[in-house]
A and B are shown apart, each in its own frame.
Chain A
Amino acid sequence: MSSGNATEQITPLEGAGIRSETAPAPSRHKLRLVPLLEVRQNVPETQRLACYAASLAVAAAISFALLALSGVAPSDVMREIATVAFSSPRALGSVLAQTAPLVMAGLATAIAFRSNFWNIGLEGQMILGAIFASVVAIYDVGPEPARLVLMAVAAMAGGMLWVSVPAMLKQRLGVSEVITTLLLNYVAFNLLLHLLYGPWKDPVSSFPHTEQYEAFERLPLLGWLNLTWTLPLAALLAGLLWWLLSYSRIGYLLDMTSSNREMARAVGVPVAGLTVAAILASGAVGGLTGFSIAAGVEFRMTQDFFAGYLFSGVLIAFLGRNHPAGVVIVAFFMAILLLVGQSLQIFFQVPSALVQLVQAIFIICVAASEFFLTYRMHWRAAT
């Protein structure tokens, strides 16, 4: 049906509307106010920040209220935050240890979002990354001193492989990447279960996880606060991406591409190549995230090492405004949230879904605040 047709047929609706065609009493008009939306042209940075801060405050208030309803008083929450994060260097160490993989997850998501590719397949890419790294570890590929590097490279290849299918479908055929990346998570998860309950079952304990990685297949300890090399790896990645996205020519061209694709193409930017490169980079960092948890935290591949990272990654990228520095800051607070959530689960028996519920409340509040930045609202009497 053409749109022109539709409008023609709709015109009689006005006559059928509830308002009578005789002149209505003017008093009714005064009472009825309708909102008028005006699109804001320029929003000052301070106003942006204020709006962002206000939405975070609203989300925090809702979260505290929710916790109070679940029987955890705000003072308990504050005490828990203080204990979990800042009571001792050891506590800070565990927060930083949790921050590292979250930074990587956030970066993986942010790179894709920045090139207008909704990569909702982080968990699938993490799983493939860990599977590829485990292939190297289990079948003893390469000499021992080079093993860890080989595992990392394999993990990046795995993540890239998994994101390349949606990337290709989007570029070649225009297939929505939201659905394809998401569905491939389920495929990857079933592949993981197949391996862990089948050929890769731990030969020692018969539990559904791989055998432990050898000492040289694990990310070594830093020798500070019980941290592993995951943290410097995440910091290095964040720094590299910050430089790439904000200061390099590639970042400039990528921003041009995502803000106006047609214009970028017209002035000779290799639009398709840049987008594909960014998507593959997102997959590679996703694979590396899986590797960093398998080789830096669990020292083996388990059946739920990736759980929750998809949501966390989206939230971190979104709240961090897809900027590497923002990602690092948000990931730090997210790590505190995760640890506080675990602790509340133990001491107050709140359900494990609590953390994700709080995350969802933050996403909704910050997304809703965009309205106040995009539009100015006027109330005007209906005429």
Chain B
Amino acid sequence: MTEFLFNWLVNVPAFAVPFALAALGLILSERAGVLNLGAEGFMLAGALAGIGVTINGGPPLAALAGAMLAGMAMGLVFAFLTASLRINHVIAGLALVFFADALTRYIASYAGWTNQAIKGLEPIFLGQDLVVWATPLICLGCVLLLNRTRFGLALRAVGENPAAADAAGIDVTTMRILAILLGTALIGLAGGYLTVAVSKIWTGSVVGGRGWIAIALVIFARWHPWRAVLGAILFGCIEALIPRIAATGADVPRYFLQMPPYLATLAVMIWSATRSSGGGAQPAALGLHHIREDRD
């Protein structure tokens, strides 16, 4: 029993980190009022970049940096559609997921990166790798950035009341583009971590809906970084449990074992919805465009 518990808990961080980083990235862009449904796409871009850099001889850290850049490259497309062209955020997010899904599979199959195992990121301390140890710091960084800097104040103002922020001299469009780029760098890193440190192999389904789960996690965390990390740990526990249960040889049908993360996400969304009566935590201008010349 203790062995089971140990094997389970030691694996939790690796499963929790992608959720945590993706949720933090989402929070950064959503606090600026950008409804970001593209998480799955940014994670896919990061995941493929991580594999690509590694296969071409790059060290794991370069692979993770590549993942961040890939996430940002996709983020630039998303920022152009939502912040500059002011396309409906839902359509832009979905289009981006479709695009990233197709593009990553296209590139992977052209370059022959599919199903090539890599060595990946090694543990450095207590059986955990560098990114696991860096994640709490990244979260702290997000909290400080949002709550203790002028930049963070401007970012939140754009997400709560873009008209007022504009009147105060903040360039709403630029602010949103920066928030998207910062956020997608973290989401790309989450994807890169999945391939460089967890699966150590690329398949088209490597992200497997984790981006969507991260979106639900942000609602669950009421757009607050620390709570998002707690939620990520919860989902890390659930995901880490799956291989452990399978290893005990318990008579649970194999494919039913894959369902808990998705069902838990539904449960978490229901719980969040019943809890928030006023819905006050959501950035007031989430998903809304700001056009200076338009009357509100």
Spell out A's residues near B (CB within 8 Å): 1, 3-4, 6-7, 9-11, 13-14, 16-17, 36-39, 70, 118, 120, 165, 169, 173-176, 178-180, 182-184, 186-187, 190-191, 193-194, 197-198, 311, 314, 318, 351-354, 356-357, 359-361, 363-364, 367-368, 370-371, 374-375
A118 touching B102 by the CB < 8 A rule? no
Tell me the minimal C-beta distance from A358 to chain B in angstroms: 8
Whether A186 and B262, one on each chain, are in contact in the complex, defined by CB atoms closer than 8 angstroms, is yes
Further contacts, 20 of them, CB under 8 A, given A184-B266, A194-B253, A359-B102:
A1-B160, A10-B165, A11-B168, A70-B110, A174-B279, A175-B269, A182-B212, A184-B262, A186-B209, A187-B262, A198-B253, A318-B91, A351-B110, A353-B106, A357-B102, A357-B106, A360-B101, A363-B94, A364-B95, A370-B87
B269: nearest chain-A partner, CB-CB = A175
Contact assessment for B209 and A182 in the assembled complex, using a CB-CB cutoff below 8 Å: yes
In the bound complex, CA of A343 to CA of B213 (Å): 36
Most chain A CB within 10 A, of B86, B88, B259, B294, is at B259
Residues of B within 8 A of A (CB): 37, 77, 81, 85-88, 90-92, 94-96, 98-99, 101-103, 105-106, 109-110, 150, 153-154, 156-157, 160-161, 164-165, 167-170, 204, 208-209, 212-213, 215-216, 219, 253-256, 258-259, 262-263, 265-266, 269-270, 273-274, 279, 284, 291-294
List chain B residues, Cβ under 8 A from A9: 153
Q: Are B259 and A356 in contact (CB under 8 A)?
A: no
Report chain A residues within 8 Å CB of B77.
364
Q: Which residues of B contact A176 (CB under 8 A)?
A: 219, 269
Q: List the 10 shortest-distance A-B pairs measured between CB atoms, nearest first.
A: A353-B105, A360-B99, A173-B273, A356-B102, A351-B109, A3-B161, A357-B102, A194-B255, A7-B164, A10-B168
Which residue on B lies nearest to A120, using beta carbons? B94
Is the pair A193, B169 in contact by a Cβ cutoff of 8 Å? no
The distance from the CB of A297 to the nearest CB of chain B, in whole angstroms, is: 23
State which of A6, A183, A370 has its C-beta within 8 Å of the C-beta of B266: A183
State A375–B153 Cα separation when bound (angstroms): 29
Q: List 6 A-B contacts (CB under 8 A).
A: A10-B153, A190-B259, A351-B105, A353-B105, A370-B88, A375-B291
Task: Name the residue on B nearest A357 (C-beta).
Answer: B102
Question: Which residue on A lies nearest to B109, using beta carbons?
Answer: A351
Whose C-beta in chain A lies nearest to the C-beta of B77? A364
Instruction: Give chain A residues whose Cβ lies under 8 Å from the Cβ of B262.
Output: 183-184, 186-187
Which one, B91, B110, B293, contacts A38 given CB within 8 A? Answer: B293
**Do A179 and B269 form a contact, CB below 8 Å, given A37-B292, A184-B262, A352-B109?**
yes
Q: How far is the CA of A354 from the CA of B108 in the complex (A)?
A: 12
Instruction: Indicate if the CB atoms of B266 and A180 lie closer than 8 Å.
Output: yes
Instruction: Report the Cα distance A89→B176, complex, angstroms.
Output: 53
- Of the listed residues A38, A174, A187, A354, the one surrounded by the most CB atoms of chain B closer than 10 A to its CB is A187
Q: Contacts A182-B209, A198-B253, A354-B106 given: A363-B95 contact, CB under 8 Å? A: yes
**Interface-central residue, A9, A70, A183, by most chain B CB under 10 Å:** A183
A-B contact count (CB 8 A): 178
What separation, in Å, do the CA atoms of A99 and B2 have in the docked complex?
58
CA distance A311 to B103 in the complex (A): 14
Are B85's CB and A6's CB within 8 A? no
Query: Which of A13, A36, A183 makes the CB contact (< 8 A) with B150?
Result: A13
Cα A367 to Cα B88 in complex, Å, equals 8
Nearest-Cβ distance from residue A365 to partner chain B, whole angstroms? 10
Residues in A neighbouring B168, C-beta threshold 8 A: 7, 10-11, 13-14
Distance A352 CA – B269 CA, assembled complex (angstroms): 35
Query: Would you call A16 and B150 a contact (CB within 8 A)?
Result: yes
Residues of B near A184 (CB, < 8 A) are: 262, 266
Given A187-B263, A194-B255, are A14 and B169 also a contact pair (CB < 8 Å)? yes
B-side contacts of A352, CB under 8 Å? 105, 109
Q: Check B167–A7 contact: CB distance below 8 A.
A: yes
Residues of A within 8 A of B94 (CB): 118, 120, 178, 314, 363
**Is the pair B81, A368 in contact by a Cβ cutoff of 8 Å?**
yes
Which chain B residues border A191 with CB–CB below 8 Å?
A: 255, 259
Query: Within the complex, what minimum Cβ distance (angstroms) separates B254 from chain A?
Result: 7
State the CA gap A24–B18 with chains docked (Å): 48
Taking the closest CB of chain B, its distance from the CB of A301, in whole angstroms, is 15
Most buried by B among A193, A360, A370: A360
Closest partner residue, chain A, to B167 (CB atom): A7
Min Cβ gap B142→A in Å is: 16
Asked whether, in the complex, the Cβ of B255 is within 8 Å of the Cβ of A190, the reply is yes
What's the nearest-Cβ distance from chain B to residue A354, in Å?
A: 6
Tell me the bound Cα distance from A216 to B103 in angstroms: 42
CA distance A195 to B168 in the complex (A): 60
A179 touches B216 (CB 8 A): yes
CB distance from A119 to the nearest CB of B (A): 11
Q: How far is the CA of A239 from the CA of B255 in the complex (A)?
A: 40
Name the residue on B nearest A10 (C-beta): B168
Verify A3–B85 contact, CB threshold 8 A.
no
> Contact between B269 and A375 (Cβ–Cβ < 8 Å)?
no
Q: How far is the CB of B177 from chain A (nearest CB, A)?
A: 14
- Determine the chain A residues whose CB is within 8 A of the CB of B208 once the complex forms: 186
Contact indicator B164/A173 (Cβ below 8 Å): no
A224 to chain B, nearest CB (A): 35
Please measure, in the bound complex, the distance between the C-alpha atom of A317 and the C-alpha atom of B160, giving whole angstroms: 33
Name the A residues within 8 Å of B153 (CB-CB): 6, 9-10
